[in-house]
Amino acid sequence: MIPETADSQGKHAMAADSYEAVIGLEVHTHLLTRAKLFCGCAAGFGAGPNENVCPVCMGMPGVLPVLNRRAVELAILMGLAAHCEISLYSIFDRKSYFYPDLPKGYQISQYETPLCKGGYIEIDPAGNGEPRRIRLVRIHMEEDAGKNIHEADASLVDFNRSGVPLVEIVSEPDIRSVEEAGAYLRELRAILRYIGASEGRMEEGNFRCDVNISVRRAGTSEYGTKTEIKNLNSFRFVEKAIEHEVKRQIEVLESGGRVTQETHLWDPLRQETRPMRSKEFANDYRYFPEPDLPPLRVSQELIDQIRAAMPELPADRRARFVHDVGLTPYEARVLSEEREVADYFEKAIAVGLKNHKGAANFVMTEVLRAVNESGKSLEQAAPSADETGALLKMVEAGTISLNAAKTAFAAMCKSGLGAAATVDELELVQVSDASAIGAACDSLIAAEPAKVAQYRAGRDKLFGFFVGMVMKAMAGKANPKMVNEILRKKLSG
């Protein structure tokens, strides 16, 4: 192999610039129901192997599936949130393939008549408040398969996941970059969590993604040959896999080759995609209508009811944060990505805070840091929103400094004590007593005659030094605004 020189790297970069990636995503996500899609077994995560199983979800012959109404309602809710057309009539199909985790030899899915058609998700990866629409092809319902577990001396199957309700959300190939793919996935996950349709937890395997990728010369409209990368279970893997596959396809085309239509697996250890053996992906699934389930008929009343009960969506919340609360699009996006964080912020300012941007900043830095560093949920990691609001109110009233509020907040996270008690205990109340501050300024001026003379002769930079000395003399508790005012007056006099 010829070692790559700076020059050949430059050529690659130029070649890459003249191509455009064309990406479509298929997301599978578990619906948040108590029971499975076609039986009464628990659908939750975390039970011991094969604890949540029955003859229906283990695929025994002669059993009959019964459709879970709640799962249909959640799928419709997602369809409405994504601006889809909801089918009043749809059918379930058998998707035929055999795998040990699917012993009945088919998966119940929807093929020709999905429950939701069309629709779109708006993304704003640049964060400039100018969203772009990624169109959807469809959202359909299906059951999940079990899980194969390969150990050193045996292959095992856990059927707890078998029959758990899924929706598959299929986008049009409207995505053009890694950034857009990331923004799309984050928005989808946020919507699912806001409406309570799914927890969207990738680490538990209930939010998985297949990626279709092709590249074409920038400025052309024909699609190139696409490859599919299956079963990516983290945002980072999706991003890495897209980057790798786009680069690989450009290199194939640049060296005069042709991209072949095939399915790849992402290998997170080697950080590369590799083709699956062709036997592992038979694309002809021999779909046929599931004879054990009647067609799914949805009434317009049910759709209207679900629409009327739709919770506020992330995009609406962001817009409200920008227009009503006065935040920037960036702040609004960070604060509204998780519903709990957005709720927390709104509850905190509801105690009567005037400085909404200050509160937003405090939540984005102090509160989110506490969550990230502890690895716990917001509720477990931080004081209640009311207490954080009360703390910030003390800052607004000048009772404590912002730095003192940060100290108090960190202590409150550990102790569980309220704002007032913590500020008391740590003696953080700042001194706003003009005569005490004045006395400290007088002693400083008396102690530093040479520097005072320099300052009065025009060395303005010394002012910061004086402020620091007074703050130090008062153990950091003096009201900084008052120190500034009093000191300036005394030095000019």
Q: Which residues bind Zn ion (CB under 5 A)?
A: 39, 41, 54, 56-57
Q: Which is nearer to Zn ion, 60 or 282 (CB)?
A: 60
Tokens of 171: 């986008």
List of residues 6+ apart from 249 with CB closer than 8 A: 213, 214, 215, 224, 227, 259
Q: Which is nearer to Zn ion, 41 or 353 (CB)?
A: 41
Backbone phi, psi, residue 466, to 5° = -65, -45
Smallest gap, in angstroms, from Cβ of residue 143 to Zn ion? 10
Smallest gap, in angstroms, from Cβ of residue 40 to Zn ion? 7
Cβ proximity of 261 and 250 under 8 Å: no
Tokens of 323: 């227009």
Q: Where are the alpha helices (DSSP H) in 356-479?
A: 356-362, 368-374, 378-381, 385-396, 402-415, 419-425, 434-447, 449-456, 462-473
Smallest gap, in angstroms, from Cβ of residue 38 to Zn ion? 8
From residue 9, how far is each of 47, 249, 252, 415 by CA, in Å? Answer: 51, 16, 16, 55
Tokens 């052309």 — which residue? 220
Residues in the chain: 493
Strands 227-232 and 263-267: parallel
Smallest gap, in angstroms, from Cβ of residue 46 to Zn ion? 17
Strands 227-232 and 207-217: antiparallel
Q: Which is nearer to Zn ion, 63 or 91 (CB)?
A: 63
Smallest gap, in angstroms, from Cβ of residue 68 to Zn ion? 11
Residue closest to 238 by CA, chosen among 278, 280, 216, 266: 266
Cβ proximity of 470 and 440 under 8 Å: yes
Smallest gap, in angstroms, from Cβ of residue 109 to Zn ion? 18
Smallest gap, in angstroms, from Cβ of residue 409 to Zn ion? 47
Smallest gap, in angstroms, from Cβ of residue 155 to Zn ion? 22
Contacts 24+ apart (CB under 8 A), 321-327: 322/129, 325/349, 325/356, 325/360, 326/356, 326/357, 327/356, 327/357, 327/360
Q: Which is nearer to Zn ion, 68 or 336 (CB)?
A: 68
